[in-house]
Chain A
Amino acid sequence: MTTSTTDTAPVPAPGRRSWLRDHSELGVCALLLALGVLVLADALTMDVDITQRGPVGPKTVPIVVGAGLLVIAALLAVDVLRGGRGQAETGEDVDLSEPADWRTVLLLAGVFLGAAVLIEPLGFPVAGALLFWGAAFALGSRRVDRDPLIAAVVSFVTYAVFNNLLGVPLPGGPLMGVL
């Protein structure tokens, strides 16, 4: 169990925002709870009369997992309210002393989704290059001369290695049709 202290007394109304920020981990509990309800609902509405073979049908394990999610959501909520905190992961390039930079995360996710949509119309080499360039841009690289070039080389070499060398088909798109 995590170390838990009992010194976090309920905070009066003005501190409600900071209380919520302090206890944002309760959001994890809410998500686990929602997931548990979803799994249970799916399991209980399952129609298994015909397909059941053996004493344990397809419902049993989902019910156990769903119930487990509900229990863990509750236990985690208790732990958080008693002052337990999950430790954010550290790493070589991770600086936890500054607040999270949500803009970069959203931009990265957006670039990724955009590239996913573009793979089919534009083909993998072009969409991949855009993904690399866009991600580098989102992460703060602003070398307009160098970034697109690196992105294009990485993407085309990868395409060639997978498509021609390893035999994993990737869509070439109109550009590969021309070349």
Chain B
Amino acid sequence: MNALNSLMDGFGTALTPLNLLWAAVGVLLGTAIGVLPGIGPAMAVALLLPVTYGLEPTGAFIMFAGIYYGAMFGGSTTSILLNTPGESAAVVAAMEGNPMAKSGRGAQALAAAAIGHFTGGMVGTILLVALAPTVADLAVDIGAPDYFAIMVLAFIAVTSVLGSSRIRGLASLLIGLTIGLVGLDQMTGQQRLTFGSLQLADGVDVVIVAVGLFAIGEALWVAAHLRRRPPDPIPVGRPWLGRADVRRTWKSWARGPFIGFPFGAIPAGGAEIPTFLSYVTEKRLSKHKDEWGKGAIEGVAGPESAASASAAGTLVSMLTLGLPTTAVAAVMLAAFQQYGIQPGPLLFEREPDLVWGLIASLFVGMVLLLALNLPLAPVWAKLLRIPRPYLYAGIMFFAAVGAYAVGGEVIDLVILLIIGLIGFGMRRYGLPVLPAIIGVILGPAAEQQLRRALQISDGSVTGLVDTPFSVIVYAVVVLLLAWPLVRKALPRKGART
């Protein structure tokens, strides 16, 4: 099989000492950052974007992939030991994991989570290997109208599937699109929203927007509401599982990926929905129903496995279609753009070394993650005690490094602070951050595809819907938009949850 050969070549790339080092650095850094309260995977990758200026792309993406998986694992550690999940994907881990830790079974909870991440990631990555080349082949001759349709789908999906309010999601998206407009028009060189400033003519760098919204915005927001006494983490020993626990959990580990992977691949909010679905499934299938809510180990194993697999699913749509479905994928897409690489169907043809090296390094990273995290868990638990002033001062500091490294301009730091203040306001008033970042990253590309499509059709709007692919995508968009109305019209039968 062709994919297998390519994967073997990929292992050749991933197993060079230097790339192995980047994978290990990524996994360790990702876990440490994920464990640190207040920093999620998206902020972690955003803060590390500046390394793309000094690293060659393969090494950088191998490291980013390690950070992604590591940070998701680290996030569940925080949930289990602190019961205050920092990001949505880790909410479910707290529901059973924290009661387990409280009743002295923290070591088992961490082990169930770690092995769950390993199996989920492994199965997810195998599915990625099997599916991604096929998707890329199918998508390889899609044109401008199809790309535009996919981007419209991404815009609508992030605003209407996620979050509680569509209006606020759309407001966030429009803020992002506006920031994306600043600078010279790509097709005509016309200045837009630059107000005659040479600085703004280059546009606002995506790195600055990502770091501003995720890092500065978050630091300022936490500063306004800093908990006077941080919650005390529950001390934990080395993770291990008894035979009885393994017998209870292996099915949960095996089921998780098949719930997580599909949800990661579609723009439906990444790990949030599948972790919850997996939780509900495991609860229904469990033979120990009395333990649920008091620390049922299946409730940690299944969702964690689903979360990890959803990360692999996310990579399918990002690598093959250039469609980011989560905040992390959006920031990784920004990293691709920094290198002038456009993820999409052609990526597998143009950059086979990079793509397959990246995929192979996912397997390597998963093994490293398991090998490092089981013995290191007590060390990670200590990170939860870091004094909060240092933590958030560090975030401000590294955000400044990242923004300054973009071009060595002080004005970039001022723009960073302004975007940070916007991020602060968005957090205060419940405007989700993800639509804004998607708007900044995909907005200019969407405009270009739109104009290209209309140029081909000579201005006729039918040019946007003249391929079967784009028609299908728009049908999905309409379905998403109409869903709340449809649900209201349907007779209420699912009221008992």
Contacts and interface: CB of A to CB of B under 8 A. Distances in A.
A102 B224 contact: yes
A79 B167 contact: yes
Contacts of A9: none
Nearest to A94: B225
Interface residues of A, number: 85
Interface in A1-53: 1-2, 25, 28, 31-32, 35, 38-39, 42-43, 46, 48, 51-53
A133 B394 CA distance: 9
Interface stretch (B342-350, B359-367, B407-415): B407-415
B105 interface: no
A126 interface: no
Contacts of B398: 158
B220 A48 contact: no
Nearest to B180: A65
Nearest to A167: B54
A1 B225 contact: no
A139 B187 contact: no
Contact of B222 (A35, A94, A168): A94
Contact of B51 (A1, A131, A132, A166): A166
Given A112-B400, A116-B414, A136-B389, A58 B37 contact: no
Contact of A56 (B178, B189, B459): B459
Lowest 10 CB-CB distances: which A-B pairs, in order?
A86-B430, A166-B54, A55-B459, A141-B389, A135-B393, A92-B37, A116-B413, A139-B389, A58-B185, A54-B455
Given A54-B454, A162-B401, 15 more contacts: A1-B165, A2-B164, A2-B165, A52-B188, A53-B187, A57-B190, A79-B167, A93-B227, A104-B226, A105-B220, A128-B397, A132-B394, A162-B405, A168-B405, A169-B408
Interface of A: 1-2, 25, 28, 31-32, 35, 38-39, 42-43, 46, 48, 51-58, 60-62, 65, 68-69, 72-73, 75-76, 79, 84-89, 91-96, 98, 100-102, 104-105, 108-109, 111-113, 115-117, 119-120, 124, 128, 131-133, 135-141, 150-151, 154-155, 158, 162, 165-171
Interface of B: 37-38, 50-51, 53-55, 78, 82, 84-86, 164-168, 170-171, 174-175, 177-178, 181, 185, 187-190, 192-193, 195, 216, 218-228, 230-231, 387-390, 392-394, 396-398, 400-401, 404-405, 408, 410, 413-414, 417, 421, 424-425, 427-431, 447, 450-451, 454-455, 458-459, 484
